[in-house]
Chains A and B, each alone.
Chain A
Amino acid sequence: VLSVQVMCVQIKCFHEIITIGYNVYHSYDLPWFRTLSWYFLLCVNYFFYGETVTDYFFTLVQREEPLRILSKYHRFISFTLYLTGFCMFVLSLVKKHYRLQFYMFGWTHVTLLIVVTQSHLIIHNLFEGMIWFIVPISCVICNDIMAYMFGFFFGRTPLIKLSPKKTWEGFIGGFFSTVLFGLLLSYVMSGYRCFTCPVEFNNDTNSFTVDCEPSELFQLQEYNIPVLLQSLLGWKTVRMYPFQIHSIALSTFASLIGPFGGFFASGFKRAFKIKDFANTIPGHGGIMDRFDCQYLMATFVNVYIASFIRGPNPSKLIQQFLTLRPDQQLHIFNTLKAHLVDRGVLGSLEDA
């Protein structure tokens, strides 16, 4: 259900930014152009969803013959679809409007890059475990709100010429509150399996399940408090989830770099002389206005997970393995076996 929501937000953001492009360039009546933008959005979404679906619904896909073919030649099919759009664009070039059309083409592609890739990274994070979706997004929102409140009560030194309302006091106050908030929220969420387990598709029940043995990230551990803080807090050790340490990294990013996404959007609005992206939400402006700070957060979380939390997805590896030739499969199998024996994980005799 959440993925459907993410998808809707993505489509709305895309629509908002493209509409701004139309307004800037007075190009609403360009032949074909509206159709082409939506077509490209469809293509890129098809490509990304196809990749995700193949990874996570592997067994389901293997069972259904048409799905299997679609997934085997997925890249080729997506590329062909994109090419069709590209050729239509070239054929639609009209003599007096070349530049406009190229601008809109460029505008569409940059928007796709920003909006669609971010939304797919969010969905990847979501499948990793809802906590990886909820904690980052809440940290950004919390930072927004806290920075505003601190700025309101204590704000004195302006932060950046671009957004005159932001102040250093708000920035720093927001930073500390967000880190604290992140720690507390992760503590509460780590206790529940429905948040910490990767989302899996159960073939037997044909539904999504979040049931697993919580990984060590989500098991309480004793940490020694550094000497400096001991006197402050009065405790010698503290029981925390390892995930909370990661939440510090996430909150720090949300507070320090997230605002740059906001400045980017402010600069964009100033550049194109618009007050808000759209009027979808009364009092808040468009959807993009709410999500501008999230922009970089999703990418960061995804890169963070891939670099520090887990390696590649084992089921994806198995899937790739099965497409290799038998001699390659045997070679890899033997190398893996030797490695496992080496590490002592596998005894030198076969065990069931």
Chain B
Amino acid sequence: EVDLEERLHELDLRSDSDIPDVPPPTDSTPEILKKALSGLSARWKNWWIRGILSLAMISGFFLIIYLGSFMLMLLVLSIQVKCYHEIITIGYRVYHSYDLPWFRSLSWYFLLCVNYFFYGETVADYFATFVQRREQLQFLIRYHRFISFALYLIGFCMFVLSLVKKHYRLQFYMFAWTHVTLLITVTQSHLVIQNLFEGMIWFLVPISSVICNDITAYIFGFFFGRTPLIKLSPKKTWEGFIGGFFSTVVFGFIFSYFLAQHQYFVCPVEYNSETNRFVTECEPSELFQMKKYSVPPLLQAVLGWETVNMYPFQMHSFALSTFASLIGPFGGFFASGFKRAFKIKDFADTIPGHGGIMDRFDCQYLMATFVHVYITSFIRGPNPSKLLKQLLILQPEQQLSVYKTLKSHLVEKGILQPSLRG
């Protein structure tokens, strides 16, 4: 039996040549599509398959948006699990470690733990009223961090106990691979869900901007592409990049304009404990109320208007689209580099013509984090109900001192009138 340890040690890791080439992916295109396209040449056939699948994905996406935030949350969760699975499978293949004892169970266990931790933090915040009523949930919430940590520790100890003499290095590699994958997929997906709860528009506009940038950069590159952008992805061109940037900004503007008018998209998602459903109903915040803006003199000549009615959100959409066009592609390059490093053409063959789920979501990678950081830095402060919940956990003396500090602050600012009965 070949000693895997020795084999790995001898490999010359300075070049990438030791990874065996992956056999070409099986063609998972459905039969019906194949028949319909049988007359076309290979290049156009690929185009058609990609086009049809894109339309199918986009329509599916719209359907789920229509079905509501809960379905969207489930969708995000399933995508996360699938991405995780794809990346872990690549790890197995790279290291020939599919038969490592325990390892598959441990990877799924860690995924479960980290999801439990994150969902516990978010769910507790948003379902405060639901949770207050159930005694067992109360207990779980109060000691949530401790329970999550204990669960993680169990996994950690199982890992240590599962170390087998000849496979130490492999096992450590897979352990690290699992953790990095968790860091990438699970944290991103939870930031996406937090953005979603802020208001569906914060979920839809960033994701569509990235998709739009992908598509328009491709189209501009196809028609006008001449100067290569980066050695890593030879198909990308500067013309595509710049064209994609401008089109995405315009798209973001127009798309936000339409979405900002509907409460369904603009309101934070809340859980109504009486009807046991998610509701998106509120007084639209000032971000989503039309305001008059003076057009800067430079643009006045171009557009011919002196003032324009816009939603303040559209200014933010400008920042979001810029990020999607300028930095989003780096996520794509990162994924391309990753695929080249491990000699894979696509992450998986889940979607015919498109590859795996990760292939579609590689540019989204950084977008979700950016949107989340953007929201917390520029849009809103902390969540008031979460703050209230934390205040109520404090010791009575602490609550009293906080109360006094708050009161003096509010009186100072004139928000509260200093009277005998405040």
Contact = CB atoms under 8 A, between A and B. Distances in A.
A90 B387 contact: no
Contacts of B399: 336, 339-340, 345
Given A312-B390, A330-B410, A324 B381 contact: yes
A102 B337 contact: yes
Contact of B145 (A110, A303, A333): A303
Given A332-B388, A345-B400, A79 B172 contact: no
B387 A332 contact: yes
Interface stretch (B264-272, B293-301, B371-379): B371-379
B84 to A, nearest CB: 15
Interface string B165-178: 10011011000110
A83 B387 contact: no
Given A76-B374, A332-B388, A110 B180 contact: yes
Contact of A109 (B142, B149, B180, B401): B180
The B contact surface, by secondary structure, is helix
Nearest to A95: B231
A317 B383 CA distance: 11
B153 A296 contact: yes
Nearest to B179: A110
B403 A336 contact: yes
A98 interface: yes
A342 B399 CA distance: 13
B146 A307 contact: yes
Interface string B369-399: 1100110111001101001101111111011
B213 to A, nearest CB: 16
A47 to B, nearest CB: 11
Interface residues of B, number: 78
Contacts of A331: 384
A89 B374 CA distance: 23
Interface residues of A, number: 79
Given A75-B377, A90-B334, A329 B410 contact: yes
Interface in A259-309: 260, 263-264, 267-268, 270-273, 296, 299-300, 303-304, 306-308
Interface string B183-212: 100000000000000000000000000000
Nearest to A216: B395
Contacts of A325: 381
Contacts of B421: 349-350
Given A99-B341, A318-B405, A349 B157 contact: no
A346 interface: yes
B333 interface: yes
A320 B382 contact: yes
Contacts, number: 197
B245 to A, nearest CB: 16
Contact of B395 (A311, A318, A336): A311
Interface stretch (B8-16, B54-62, B63-71, B304-312): B8-16
A329 to B, nearest CB: 6
B232 interface: yes
Contacts of A329: 406, 409-410, 415
B400 A304 contact: no
Interface string A42-70: 00000000000000000000000000000
A184 interface: no
A260 B376 CA distance: 38
B358 to A, nearest CB: 15
Interface string B336-354: 0110111000000000000
Nearest to B94: A99
Nearest to A263: B160
A223 interface: no
Contact of A267 (B160, B180, B391, B402): B160
B97 to A, nearest CB: 13
Contacts of A324: 381-382, 384, 387
Contact of A336 (B146, B160, B327, B402): B402
B377 A73 contact: yes
Contacts of B341: 98-99, 101-102
B202 to A, nearest CB: 16
Interface string A99-126: 1111100110110010000000000000
B330 interface: yes
B183 A162 contact: no
Contact of A311 (B13, B340, B393): B393
B160 A264 contact: yes
B420 interface: yes
A296 B156 contact: yes
Given A300-B149, A307-B145, A335 B388 contact: yes
Contact of B176 (A110, A260, A304, A339): A110
B134 interface: no
A323 interface: yes
Given A73-B377, A98-B341, A99-B19, A271 B172 contact: yes
Task: List the 9 shortest-distance A-B pairs measured between CB atoms, nearest first.
Answer: A98-B341, A271-B168, A323-B381, A271-B169, A99-B341, A76-B377, A307-B146, A311-B393, A320-B382
Given A102-B338, A345-B399, 19 more contacts: A26-B14, A76-B374, A76-B377, A86-B366, A93-B232, A99-B16, A257-B153, A270-B168, A271-B171, A272-B169, A296-B153, A307-B145, A323-B381, A324-B384, A332-B384, A336-B392, A340-B396, A345-B400, A350-B419
Interface of B: 9, 13-16, 19, 142-143, 145-146, 149, 153, 156-157, 159-161, 163, 165, 168-169, 171-172, 176-177, 179-180, 183, 230-232, 327, 330, 333-334, 337-338, 340-342, 366, 369-370, 373-374, 376-378, 381-382, 384, 387-388, 390-396, 398-403, 405-407, 409-410, 413, 415-416, 419-422
Interface of A: 25-27, 72-73, 75-76, 79, 83, 86-87, 89-91, 93, 95-103, 106-107, 109-110, 113, 160-162, 257, 260, 263-264, 267-268, 270-273, 296, 299-300, 303-304, 306-308, 310-312, 314, 317-318, 320-326, 328-333, 335-337, 339-340, 343, 345-346, 349-350
